[in-house]
Each structure stands twice: as C-alpha cells, then as structure tokens.
Amino acid sequence: MRPYEVMIILDASLEEDAIRAVIDRATEVIQSRGGNLSRVDRWGKRRFAYELDHRWEGYYILLEITAEPAALTELARVLSLTDEVLRHKVIRLPDRVAGLARPGARSGTGAEAEAS
C-alpha cells in the first residue's frame, strides 16, 4: 500500500449533492480495490489563474489515499470519464513525507548526520 494525494477540480456551479456523489464514487472505487481513504479536504470554490474549459472558477477537493497502484489507475480512469470533473491529478507521496518512514531506516545523508 502506498500513500497518494488526489486533487480533483469540479465545476463550480454544481450543487452539494452532485459534489457529494463524485466524492462517494471516488471513495467507492478506492475501497472496492482494497484501498483506504484517509481524509477528504474540501477547499471549496477557487478562482483559476486562467480560463479552463470556458470557466473561471472551480470547486477543489483533496483526497488522501493509501492504496495499491492499480486502484489509483482505475480511479484516474473513472475521474477522466466523469463529466463534472474539470481536472484531476494523482500524486504518489514519498514515504518520509507521508510519515511512513521505516523505523530502522537512516533519517539523513552522511553530511546531515555529521552536522548533528
């Protein structure tokens, strides 16, 4: 299982029920493939820096997920086919960033270890 962040940008004109349906669909895809949804962070409506699909605003959602790569491939496929999703990005987090560093692993390089 690997840690991922998934940023989803939805159409800003969607109702709350439609936004919840997209989140539920993403959660279902992840959980049906053995993954775990750690956190859903709704950023809300944000203005774009440039026009995107003839729109200037989008509704941002950040998902923190722990899953196998195959589950994220399926999630990306589902999100790309969903009409409400303007853009999405799947990022694999390094273990040290996600707080999953192995207990026996060295925490730094030789130069950092000498400086401490």
- Considering the domain boundaries, does residue 27 fall inside one? yes
Q: How many helices (H) and strands (E) does the chain have?
A: 4, 4
Residue 81's CATH number: 3.30.70.60
Asked whether the whole model's pTM tops 0.95, one would answer no
- Considering the domain boundaries, does residue 104 fall inside one? no
Fill in the amino acid letter for 82.
T
CA–CA distances in Å: residue 77 to residues 71, 73, 102: 10, 6, 31
Tokens standing for residue 21: 């349906």
Residue-wise pLDDT for 48-95, tens only, equals 999 988 999 999 999 999 999 999 999 999 999 999 999 999 999 887
- Considering the domain boundaries, does residue 61 fall inside one? yes
- Considering the domain boundaries, does residue 105 fall inside one? no
Tell me the C-alpha distance between 98 and 66, whole Å: 10
Give residue 79's domain range. 2-96
What is the CB neighbour count within 10 angstroms for residue 57? 13
Lowest mean pLDDT across 1-15, 27-41, 91-105 = 91-105
- Considering the domain boundaries, does residue 108 fall inside one? no
